[in-house]
Structure 1
C-alpha cells in the first residue's frame, strides 16, 4: 500500500501525461541599429553595375586583344608595313599581347601591394600622431599634387612635354593624381561627417557617380600607359629582329614567273632550262611572318633608309627554301 499520490492517467492511452517544461521566456530586446544590414553605398551599387554589364572574362580578352593589336601595329610599322594587310588573327594578337603585358602586370601588382602596405602603416602609426591642423595641410597638399599630376598628364596631349620621352609616364601621372585627389576628398568628407554623427561617418563618402568618374579616369590612364608601353615594345622587337638578321635562317624564293623583287642585297637568278620546275630564284631574303596565306619578306641588308618589304602570296607557283645563316645556297639551281 502506498500513501503517495500518483498522477491520474488519461482515459484513452492509460499513460501518465508529462508536465510541460516550457517556461515563459523574456521578450528579446530590439536589435541594435549597429547590427543592421550594411547600407547600400554608392561604391557597392557601382560594383554591381560593373559585374552586370562587363563580364570579367570579356573585359580581360578585350584588353589582351587591344594590347596585342598595338604591339603588332608598331612592330610592322617599323618596316613600313600596315599590319591590317597581313590578315593577323585574334590568336596572333593574343599571343603578341603576352610580350607587352607581362612587365606592366607584374609591376602593377607589386606597386599595388606596396601601396596597401604603406597605406595601412600610415593610418595605424603616422596619422594618429598628426594634429587636426597638420591633417588639413596634408589634405591640401595631396589635392594640389594630385591636380598637378593630372594636369601634367593631360598637357602632353597638346604639348610635347618631357613626359612624352618617358614610356607610360603621362598615363601613370593621371592614375597617381586621381588616387591622391580621391584620398584627400575621402579624408576631408570623413572628418566632416564624424563631427555630425557616427552613423554618417560610417557611410560611403563618395556617390556612385563620383566612383564611376574615378574608375573611368583611372582606366583611361592605365590604358594610356600600357598602350604606350606596348607600342614601345613592338618597335623595340622590330629593331632587335633587324639587328639579329645575320643569326636568322636565310630564305630563297623560287617562282615560275619573274616576281621583280628588286632591293639592295636581293639577287635574281634565271634558269633557262626548259625542264626546270621554277625559272626564277631570289636570294638574300629573310622571312618575318607568314599570315593570311602570304609571306612578309625583307632583304637581309634591310634598313629604314633604303629598305623595302615584300608581301608574297602563298601559292603553288612559288616555293620557299630555308638555309642556316652560315650556309650558302646552291649556285645556278632553280629546283
Structure 2
C-alpha cells in the first residue's frame, strides 16, 4: 500500500506540473494548487496529533500515516510551488527544514510498517488459536520424563523391550506450532489464547518425533 501510494505521487507530480504549465496562467494555477493543500495538510496533522494522544481512535497505523501523509503533501506542494514560480530552490535554512521533514516522513513510514507487522502477527496468532487442527499432530518419544500436566496431552511409559532402551516415555496430544533451526515449538491440542503453554524442544538424540494428521 505504501509503495503504491509513492508510485501514485511520483506519477501525479510531473503530470500536475506539466498540465498547469501548459494552461493559460500556468504559474498562477500552480500557486493556487499549492496553497489549496494547506487546509488539508493542517487537518491531517491535527488528526494525527489527536490520534497520537489517543483522543480519537485511528487504528494502529493512523498516527504515522496521518502525520507522514501531511508532511509528504506539504513537501510536494512546496516543491511544486518552487518549480512553478521559477524561484531559486530553498535557502540554506529551508533546506535543513526540508531534510528534517524528509527524515520524519521516512520515520513515519517505518512506524506504520512496524505497527502493521505487529497487528498482522497478532491477528495470525489469534486465527491460528481457533484453527489448531490445521497444524500437524506430533507423537513425541523422549528419554526423560517431561511431566507435562497439560489438558489433552497424554503421557505413556514405553515398555522396556530390551535392557537399555533409549526412549522411555511417549507423549500424544501435541501439535507443531513452528520450527526454527534445531528447535521445535510444540503446543497442546487444547491450547487456548489465554492459558496456553508452549514447549520449546531441542531436536537432538534425546527425542524422537513423528508427525501425523488429525
TM-score of the pair, normalised by structure 2: 0.80
Alignment of 1:1-335 (within 5 A): 107-126=1-20, 128=23, 138-159=33-54, 161-164=56-59, 167-187=60-80, 194=85, 201=87, 203-205=88-90, 207=92, 208-273=95-160, 275=162, 276-291=165-180, 293-323=182-212, 325-326=213-214
What's the offset of the Cα at 1:211? 2.9
**Higher share of residues assigned strand:** 2
What's the offset of the Cα at 1:187? 4.9
What's the offset of the Cα at 1:220? 0.8
What's the offset of the Cα at 1:126? 4.8
What's the offset of the Cα at 1:248? 2.9
Q: How many residues align?
A: 209
What's the offset of the Cα at 1:254? 1.0
How has the CA–CA distance of structure 1 residues 248 and 175 changed in structure 2, closer, same or farther, with 3 Å as cutoff?
same
**Structure 2 stretches of 5 or more lacking a match?**
none
State the SS of the aligned residue for 1:180: helix
What's the offset of the Cα at 1:116? 3.2
Larger Rg belongs to: 1
The answer as to whether partners of 2:20 and 2:29 remain within 8 angstroms in 1 is no
What's the offset of the Cα at 1:129? 5.2
Residue matched to 1:57? none
- 4+ residue runs over 6 A deviation: 130-135
**Structure 1 stretches of 5 or more lacking a match?**
1-106, 327-335
State the SS of the aligned residue for 2:58: helix
Output one character per residue of 1:208-263: Cα deviation in whole Å (capped at 9) or x when no partner.
Answer: 41232122111111001111111122223323433442233210111122101221
Q: Which has the higher contact order (CA 8 A, sep 6+)?
A: 1
Matched residues in 1 for 2:47 and 2:39: separation?
12
Matched residues in 2 for 1:206 and 1:237: separation?
49
After the TM superposition, which of the residue ranges 267-276 and 130-139 deviates more from structure 2? 130-139
Matched residues in 1 for 2:91 and 2:154: separation?
69
